[in-house]
Amino acid sequence: MSLPLRTFFRLLSGGRFRLLRDRLNHRLRVRRLKAGQAFFYRRAGVRYFVDPRQTASVATYLEEMEDGRELRLWQKWLQPGDHVIDGGAHTGAYAFAAAARLSSGKIVAVEADPDLADFLKMAGHRLGFSPVLEVAACALSDHNGTANFYFSPPSGNGRVLQSLHAPRPDFEARPVALETLADLASRHFDGAAPAAVKLDLEGAENLALSAAPPAWFSPQGPLWTVEINRDALARFQTTPEAILRHFPATSFDVFLLPHYPHAPMPDTLRPSGFSSWNQAAYFNLVAVPTGPLFTKRRQRLRHLLP
């Protein structure tokens, strides 16, 4: 399972050291999976769990950790006693990063895929996070109720795309519960505000934001991490600018972190003056509240954000 020597020397001589590292790491991970046993591993300083029978967890394990800086931001920001919402938790990258930081408080991992929700519960237990981790098997939206949730056929790496809108006709529809951020917090936190919220909802981010409590968008609101994928948002007849409007400069310092850029660009951008959402596959918006209660927390982020 070693990297072919021809490929190794081609990447080495071409100075493509990051790609070489990623290829070697991928080969080592594939080899480790061959044993067919579930195991723990570490990424970005956080302990995770993979079960070879759970294809999504395998796909996450084989991929590089693209959100490493966002996870470090969470860990610097959070402190014991905080509440956290991970919307679109998938295999738990953000939820488990938060749980590793919190000895008290509560993390709610929101996941509409019942198989992934079961995996999150099992992995959280195996990782020892059960005292602070709860799993909400629902989709976030702008109202409570039920709706069809769409699942793509498995891709070559086992990954399945899930969304409240089907980009293609071959997606399978399954009914799921819908819940708003306000009601989720009321049910899990007794109405208290979370210290951090992450939303990766395959285009439904603006629906969830529109039903969040207004106080969450004040200078005393949570730290937000929101995926902005222009094509996914378009399926919900919305735009990246609609996401940005939720985070006024009077309440937040807002940053854009590009992922898979199509050409060299800064790794952190300010929204002001930014116009081309085609420059990267997607962006993660990070909105840091500016309230005086968070002065010390903001100082802990100074080495990660300009």
Residue 22, pLDDT > 80, answer: no
| pLDDT given for residue 133 in this prediction | 97
Q: Bigger pLDDT: 264 or 161?
A: 264
Q: Residue 10's pLDDT is what?
A: 57
The answer to whether residue 2 scores a pLDDT higher than 60 is no
Q: Tell me how crowded residue 231 is: count the other CB atoms within 10 A of its CB.
A: 12
pTM: 0.90
pLDDT the model gives residue 23 = 66
Q: Is the pLDDT of residue 276 over 50?
A: yes
Model pLDDT for residues 135-173, shown as the tens digit of each residue: 999 999 999 999 999 988 876 655 667 888 887 888 889
Q: Report the pLDDT value the prediction gives residue 166, as an integer from 0 to 100.
A: 80
> Which pLDDT score is estimated for 16?
54
| CA of residue 246 relative to chain centroid, distance | 19
What is the CATH number that goes with domain 67-300?
3.40.50.150
Query: What are the boundaries of each domain within the chain?
Result: 1-33, 67-300
Q: What is the mean pLDDT of the chain?
A: 90
For the segment 35-59, what is each residue's pLDDT rounded down to a tens digit? Answer: 889 999 998 889 999 999 998 999 8
What was the pLDDT predicted at 8?
A: 45
Q: What is the pLDDT of residue 7?
A: 55
Rounded (to 5) percent helix, strand, coil in the chain: 35, 25, 40
pLDDT tens digit sequence for 95-114: 999 999 998 999 999 999 99
CB 137 within 8 A of CB 117: yes
Q: Are 143 and 180 in contact (CB under 8 A)?
A: yes
